[in-house]
Every structure is written in structure tokens, then in C-alpha cells.
């Protein structure tokens, strides 16, 4: 999966959909290069509460081999979490102020991200989103416009943040990244008049490019979900209603090469 994720981010840079987190956390190489510190996990809280394990639920959404497991103890405070200062500098801009993280939890509860140690005098910025599924992967998106123009040196994650803790839980995390995504309804890319709309899309999306001969839809990990071959066409409508909510890519094939565009499924 490491190779797939590397390919994804090379593609992302080529598109201008760029990763702002210097090294997106994929957990394929253990914790040595991430240095997360656990806090608030009860009387015996320690870094032993997190570990890199085999993916417990390999799916279309997350085909990673390895993920981070966080065991939340029964006596943990509601704000139990972990932080890392090994992110170089996390920059938020007008174009890139969205964090994404894959989550698998045994309970439904809020998750929080917190951005700290600003180099530009910003207060700490915190954002909360709840998962909606249990025992399967879900792509969680954190939008943080309050952090625009901020440069932060610490990333803190609260994986299970109930108002009152009634018990422990197990949380799996993967593929933590900050990506730049233009979410306007029509996207036009330099060097090619490639358009995709509506974007975000709920069911059907129109893809327009002169003399297309094929279309491919892929997920964040580079897995092909849909593929079409046809005679030359300037416009095609594709059905996407069965896709899960998240970020995807469409690639059009032409006689002059291939062109890519990101899109969001509602």
C-alpha cells in the first residue's frame, strides 16, 4: 500500500491538489518516523496504548496493510488523545485548509483535531467531527478555515471524545493528510479543458474533454472503481451514486495523453 499512497501523492501534486502535510501518516513503517505521544488514557496511560497493527477490515475504502490502533481505557478522560511534533510545519492556506483521516471505531462519538504551537502567533485551532459508522472504515473530513495563514508545529488527535466517558473503545486510524481541494462546481485545469460537474456529486457526474476515448475512476489508494472505453466523445455522464462519501479521481484518456481531476462524492 505504501507504493500506492506514494503514487497518489505524486498524482496529487501533478494536479495541483497538493499535500500540505510534509509526510502524510500511512503507518506502513511503524511509529519510528511519527513519534506520537499518548495522554489522558487513565491511570496506566502510556505509549503502549497505541500500536501499528494489521488492518482489521480491508475494504474498498481502505486497503492498507497496516494502520494505527488506539486502545482507549475505561478510566480515560474524555479528551484522551495523542500528539506529534514531527510534522515539520503544517501550513493552512485559502486553497488547503482541509484535513482528512480514515477512521474505524467501535463506538460513535466525536473526534477532534487540534493544531498547536503556531509560528505566526495564532491561537490553537480545534475542530470536531463525529463518525457515523462503527466497525468499518469511514473517511472523516475536518475543514479548518480558522487556521488559514497559520503555521503549526504540533498536531493533536482526540480519537474518542464523548461528553462523559461511559467505557473504553478501540479506534483505528490511517492516512492522515492535509489536501488542497477546489470544490467549485466546474473544474477546469491548465493545459486541458477538462471539466467535471457537479462537484461535489451525489449521483451522476458529467465529464467533458475533447475526443475522449476512455474514463477511469479511482479512490484515494489508486484502486480502479470504474472503467469505461468508447469511441471518441466530448462528454460522458457517469453514475456514482454507489460510491461512499469521500475524495476520488477521474482520469480521461485521449489521443494526446491522460488528464486527471479530483472530485468529492457527497
61: CATH: 2.60.120.260
Whether residue 131 lies inside any domain: the answer is yes
- Half-sphere exposure of 39 toward its Cβ, with a 13 Å CA cutoff? 9
Per residue in 6-31, pLDDT (tens digit) is 333 333 333 333 334 545 788 877 66
- Say whether both 162 and 72 belong to one domain: yes
Q: Which residue has the higher pLDDT, 213 or 9?
A: 213
* Domain termination site, one of 131, 150, 179: 179
Residue with cell 462537484: 199
Distance of CA 225 to the CA centre of its chain: 18
Q: 240, 237, 217: which is closest to 227 by C-alpha?
A: 217
* Domain termination site, one of 179, 206, 224: 179
pLDDT of residue 127: 95
Whether residue 189 lies inside any domain: the answer is no
Lowest mean pLDDT among 91-105, 174-188, 190-204: 174-188
Tell me: pLDDT of 256 over 90.
no
- Say whether both 165 and 52 belong to one domain: yes
Structural domain total, the chain? 2
- Say whether both 26 and 148 belong to one domain: yes
- Say whether both 244 and 123 belong to one domain: no
pTM: 0.65
Per residue in 78-91, pLDDT (tens digit) is 999 999 987 778 88
- Say whether both 141 and 88 belong to one domain: yes
- Say whether both 202 and 172 belong to one domain: no
- What SS3 state is found at 3? helix
Cβ neighbours, 10 Å, residue 112: 18
- Say whether both 127 and 246 belong to one domain: no
Domain that holds residue 213: 195-265
Amino acid at each position: 500500500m505504501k507504493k500506492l499512497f506514494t503514487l497518489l501523492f505524486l498524482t496529487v501534486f501533478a494536479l495541483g491538489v497538493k499535500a500540505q502535510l510534509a509526510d502524510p501518516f500511512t503507518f506502513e513503517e511503524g511509529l519510528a518516523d511519527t513519534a506520537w505521544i499518548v495522554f489522558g488514557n487513565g491511570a496506566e496511560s502510556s505509549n503502549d496504548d497505541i500500536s501499528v497493527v494489521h488492518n482489521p477490515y480491508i475494504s474498498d475504502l481502505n486497503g492498507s496493510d497496516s494502520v494505527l490502533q488506539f486502545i482507549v481505557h475505561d478510566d480515560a478522560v474524555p479528551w484522551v488523545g495523542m500528539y506529534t511534533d514531527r510534522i515539520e510545519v503544517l501550513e493552512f492556506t485559502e486553497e488547503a485548509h482541509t484535513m482528512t483521516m480514515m477512521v474505524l471505531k467501535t463506538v460513535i462519538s466525536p473526534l477532534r483535531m487540534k493544531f498547536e504551537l503556531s509560528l505566526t502567533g495564532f491561537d490553537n485551532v480545534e475542530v470536531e467531527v463525529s463518525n457515523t459508522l462503527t466497525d468499518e472504515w469511514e473517511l472523516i473530513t475536518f475543514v479548518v478555515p480558522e487556521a488559514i495563514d497559520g503555521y503549526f508545529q504540533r498536531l493533536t488527535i482526540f480519537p474518542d471524545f464523548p461528553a462523559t466517558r461511559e467505557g473504553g473503545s478501540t479506534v483505528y486510524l490511517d492516512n492522515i493528510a492535509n489536501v488542497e481541494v477546489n470544490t467549485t462546481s466546474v473544474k477546469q485545469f491548465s493545459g486541458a479543458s477538462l471539466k467535471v460537474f457537479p462537484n461535489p456529486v451525489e449521483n451522476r457526474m458529467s465529464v467533458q474533454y475533447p475526443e475522449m476515448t476512455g474514463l477511469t475512476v479511482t479512490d484515494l489508494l489508486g484502486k480502479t472503481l470504474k472503467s469505461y472505453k468508447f469511441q471518441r466523445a466530448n462528454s460522458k455522464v457517469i453514475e456514482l451514486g454507489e460510491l461512499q462519501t469521500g475524495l476520488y479521481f477521474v482520469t480521461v484518456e485521449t489521443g494526446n495523453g491522460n488528464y486527471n481531476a479530483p472530485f468529492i462524492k457527497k
